[in-house]
Amino acid sequence: MIDSVLVANRGEIARRVFRTCRDLGLATVAVASDADAADGAPHAREADAAVRLPGAAPADTYLRGDLIVRAALAAGADAVHPGYGFLSENAAFARAVQDAGLVWIGPPPAAIEAMASKTRAKKLMADAGVPLLAPVEAPGEADLPLLVKAAAGGGGRGMRVVRELAALERETEAARAEAASAFGDGEVFVEPYVERARHVEVQVLADAHGEVWALGTRDCSLQRRHQKVIEEAPAPGLGEELTSVLCEAAVAAARAVGYVGAGTVEFLVSHDGRPYFLEMNTRLQVEHPVTELVHGIDLVARQIRIAEGAALPAGGPPPAAGHAVEARLYAEDPARGWRPWTGTVLRLDVPGDVRLDSGVEAGTEVGVHYDPMLAKVVAHAPTRQEAVRKLARALEGARVHGPVTNRSLLVRSLRHEEFVTGQMDTGFYGRYLEELTGANEEASLPLLAAALADAARHGTPRVGGWRNVRSQARTKRFRSEPDGAEREVRYRWERGGTLTPEDQPGVRVVSVSGSLVVLEAEGVRRAFSVAAYGRRVHVDSPLGSHAFTSLPLLPEPESTLAPGSLVAPMPGTVVRLAEGLTPGTEVTAGQPLLWLEAMKMEHEVTSPTEGVLSSLDVTVGQQVTSGDILATVT
């Protein structure tokens, strides 16, 4: 029997596992890097005990299996749960846990090893009769489009779509370099790229007594950079026959490697309904809550009981009931290349009857070292239509203050006709991203609310004596986030201390305070909640959520950069330079010059113009902050 569990992870998944441990009466142990400890990370505070992992970078902390095993022993834990990511699919770590006399809450190391390489896994699945895409050994024009894919790891790292044969060598080298940097293994392979395919997966649960459950399907087709954004269960519109084929193939895959515990078998389903094995994730998935809600099961509790040797209940898995949809809330700007954002979470409140799994709370610092996911919001309802509607409404009404997030994209995606009708595929954001991230035309009233609330917070001006002319209009300047557009609002203080907008004559101010402004426009009255954090202002209303930065009336002097300066768009680490890049190299506009890694994603930095690289100011491995000069092109 297990008495105390160390979670070899952080953030949302650590808190999720701790929640089940408390329900089961188990003691909990957290590990925390210096970056998390300094920030008072919620997962470290919630555990019964926490052990420091010196350093901040994952390679020095959450990827150090020896330190984590030592932490478990020091804190008196008798079991280790890996969560997902980091060392969760590392067979050597699983063996080290077991060799230390601890219980490993995961599949056998041999099963992890069998599925660790996608190329080896494909051979195993072919022998087990699981349908799959064969690798392309000698690509030609007839094979296009192609997908270059890392053999190790996951999360969309080391993947490139190739549509022109001339680009294959360049994209293969790029994928190989990214895979080597991310996973320490540069092996890649090439397979056909299936256009308009859906990403469908099957949750499996197996015990040590030979029983394997398939807990239905999940659709994870809405992805950015090959990473999932919105997931749901069951996958809509598959039909009973295809669902049965997928579930049988998933069970066969699990049996082929002697699987024990919770795992996921992932498939591509082509536009004409043909399934192809992608990979098996030998761990819990980020999107596991949708399966839990539909089947009424706690997958973490099942993992723990299976690790203790218990058999799965007779009679098969619990039947499915209703539909569940999950959205991942990221600190990122989808309109600008999915650029991640750092900063302090100032508020995170999600209304309604939804499940919120979050690794952050008010005061949490979002840094550069870890994934930018703030939370998962999950809705469950009797039908898909109701679940989608409930989730969109909850996200729309959420108070998410601090870093820029993808919240508006999530709401618009959930309400897009292609998603509502269940016709989406993995190319969804490739087709609709510009449409889904377009400027919000409803910003004028929230902007006015921000200005009026600011005026109310600073009090009514004193007016001495009698005057027969109106007071002069006052001006307030703001910068909209994240587009950076600067806007002005003009208003007047009237006799009696009332406020009147100057540039929006059709708008009537019903009431004003420092935190709530009620406006009426064209006969429609709306309330605007205003929260100010220094110069940063967040406005939430039925028209959506807006963030502004208050600016001084007179523009501040700006530092002058040399023409052609290439600055870091975000904090991060320089992980690669273009081959042969040295001062004096001739470059073209848009040519990739270097790559930054931030929040577990690589970001390409390109030349702003054609010219000559006159200076290169960074080296591989160097940490940079937003605005640092990386290079200069003359």
The model's pLDDT over 249-274, given as tens digits with 9 standing for 90+, comes to 999 999 999 999 999 999 999 999 99
- Amino acid making up residue 545: S
Considering the domain boundaries, does residue 126 fall inside one? no
Q: What is the CA radius of gyration of the chain?
A: 27
Q: Which of 23-32, 53-62, 455-464 has the lowest mean pLDDT?
A: 455-464
Instruction: Give the end of a domain, one of 192, 211, 236.
Output: 192
Catalytic residue among 283, 302, 407, 412: 283
Instruction: Among 145, 176, 192, give the residue marking a domain's end.
Output: 192
Q: What is the mean pLDDT of residues 149-162?
A: 82
Is residue 372 within 8 Å of residue 341, measured between CB atoms? Answer: yes
Phi, psi of 73 (to 5 degrees): -65, -40
| Average pLDDT for the chain | 91
Structure tokens at 168: 């294959």
Instruction: List the single range of 192-196, 219-223, 390-394, 411-415 with lowest mean pLDDT.
Output: 192-196
pLDDT band at 469 (very low <50, low <70, confident <90, very high): low
Q: For residue 317, what pLDDT is reported? A: 95
480 within a domain of the structure (yes/no):
yes
Other C-beta atoms lying within 10 Å of the C-beta of residue 142 = 5
Task: Read off the pLDDT band of 627 (50, 70, 90).
Answer: confident
One domain, residues 299 and 421: yes
Residue 396: CB atoms within 10 Å: 20
Same domain membership, residue 342 and residue 202: yes
pLDDT of the residue at 437: 93
Enter the pTM of the model: 0.89
113 occurs within a structural domain: no
266, 307: one domain: yes
Q: Rounded to 5 degrees, what angle do the CA atoms 475, 479, 484 make? A: 150
Task: Give the domain CATH number at 596.
Answer: 2.40.50.100
Q: What is the pLDDT of residue 478?
A: 94
CA–CA dist 263, 580 (Å, integer):
43
Same domain, 335 and 431: yes
In the chain, the amino acid numbered 575 is: V
Q: Looking at residues 75-92, what average pLDDT do you find?
A: 96
Q: What is the pLDDT of residue 414?
A: 98
What CA–CA distance (Å, rounded) separates 87 from 116? 12
Helices (H), 276-402: 288-295, 299-307, 384-396
Task: Reply yes or no on whether the pLDDT at 2 is more than 90.
Answer: yes
> pLDDT, tens digit, for every residue of 188-203?
989 999 889 999 999 9
Annotation marks residue 283 as catalytic? yes
What 8-state DSSP symbol labels residue 87? T
When mean pLDDT is compared over 67-76, 156-165, 562-571, the highest value belongs to 67-76
290-322 tens-digit pLDDT: 999 999 999 999 999 999 999 999 889 999 999
Contact criterion met (CB below 8 Å) for 288 and 301: no
Is residue 187 within 8 A of residue 152, CB to CB? The reply is yes
Residue located via tokens 């309802």: 381
Instruction: Find out whether 548 and 537 touch, Cβ atoms under 8 Å.
Output: yes
Check whether residue 188 and residue 199 sit in a common domain: no
What Å distances lie between residue 562 and 557, 569, 582, CA to CA? 16, 16, 19
| pLDDT for 143 beyond 70 | yes
Is 128 within a domain? no
Question: Is the peptide bond prior to 482 cis by the omega test (within 30 degrees of 0)?
Answer: yes
Spatial distance between the Cα atoms of 17 and 354, rounded to a whole number of angstroms:
19
Domain CATH for 223: 3.30.470.20
> Both tokens of residue 465?
């004596």
Question: What's the confidence (pLDDT) of residue 462?
Answer: 47
- Alpha-carbon span 105 to 289, nearest angstrom: 18
pLDDT for 609 equals: 87
Are 493 and 608 in the same domain?
no
* Residues 218 and 299: beta-carbon distance below 8 Å: no
DSSP state of 132: B
* DSSP string for residues in 438-461: ---TT-HHHHHHHHHHHHHHT-PP
**Per the structure block, which two tokens stand in for 185?**
């293994």
**Structural domain contains residue 187:** yes
Domain count, the chain: 5
Q: Which residues contact 175 (CB under 8 A, 6 or more apart)?
A: 148, 149, 150, 158, 159, 160, 188
- Both 200 and 216 in one domain: the answer is yes
Q: Are residues 498 and 574 in the same domain?
A: no
Residue 124: name the closest of 257, 34, 236, 10 by CA.
257
What is the bridge-based pairing of β-strands 507-512 and 516-521?
Answer: antiparallel
Is residue 446 within 8 A of residue 528, CB to CB? The reply is yes
- Poorest-confidence range of 2-6, 83-87, 174-178, 285-289? 174-178
Contact 98, 105 (CB under 8 A): no
Whether residues 252 and 265 fall in one domain: yes
**Confidence bin at 470 (pLDDT 50/70/90):** low
Average pLDDT for 513-539: 95
Any idea what the CATH number is for the domain that residue 144 is in? 3.30.1490.20
The pLDDT score that the predictor gives to residue 155 is 67
What gap in Å lies between CA 631 and CA 568, rounded to an integer? 9
* DSSP string for residues in 198-256: EEEEEEEEE-TTS-EEEEEEEEEEEEETTEEEEEEESPTT--HHHHHHHHHHHHHHHHH
3-state secondary structure of 586: strand
Contact 264, 246 (CB under 8 A): no
Q: 475 pairs with which residues across the strands?
A: 490
The DSSP call for residue 298 is -
Instruction: Report d(CA 239, CA 200) in Å as an integer.
Output: 13
Residue 471 CB contacts under 8 Å (≥ 6 apart), including other chains: 461, 463, 492, 493, 494
The 10s digit of each residue's pLDDT in 592-611 is: 899 888 776 778 889 888 99
Burial of 54 (0-12, 13-18, 19+ CB in 10 A): exposed
621 in a structural domain: yes
Which residues on neighbouring strands pair with residue 623, listed in sequence order?
573
Task: Please check whether residues 298 and 214 belong to one and the same domain.
Answer: yes
pLDDT band at 559 (very low <50, low <70, confident <90, very high): low
pLDDT of residue 557: 57
Is residue 441's pLDDT more than 70?
A: no
**Do 485 and 539 fall within a single domain?**
yes
Identify the domain containing residue 181 by its residue range: 134-192
Q: Mean pLDDT across the stretch 467-496?
A: 81
CA distances from 535 to 100, 250, 545, 549, 597 (A): 52, 53, 17, 5, 29
Do 30 and 50 meet the contact criterion of CB atoms below 8 Å apart?
A: yes
Residue scoring higher pLDDT (123 or 537): 537
Per DSSP bridges, beta strands 49-53 and 146-150 are: unpaired
Q: Looking at residue 310, what DSSP letter applies? A: P
Residue 390 has pLDDT above 80, yes or no: yes
Report if residue 116 sits inside a domain: no
Q: Is residue 52 part of a domain?
A: yes
512 and 497 share a domain? yes
- Among residues 534, 195, 473, which one has the least CA distance to residue 343? 534
- Tell me what pLDDT residue 482 has: 87
pLDDT of residue 1: 92
Q: What is the mean pLDDT of residues 396-403?
A: 96
DSSP string, 475-521: EEEEEEETT--EEEEEEEEPTTS-EEESS-TTEEEEEE-SSEEEEEE
Give residue-wise pLDDT tens across range 4-40.
999 999 999 999 999 999 999 999 999 999 999 887 8
Residue 184 has pLDDT above 90, yes or no: no
Share of the chain above pLDDT 90, in %: 69
Of the candidates 192, 215, 242, which is a domain's last residue? Answer: 192
* φ, ψ of residue 220 in degrees (nearest 5): -130, 40
Q: How far apart are alpha carbons 590 and 582 in whole angstroms?
A: 17
| CATH number for the domain that contains residue 503 | 3.30.700
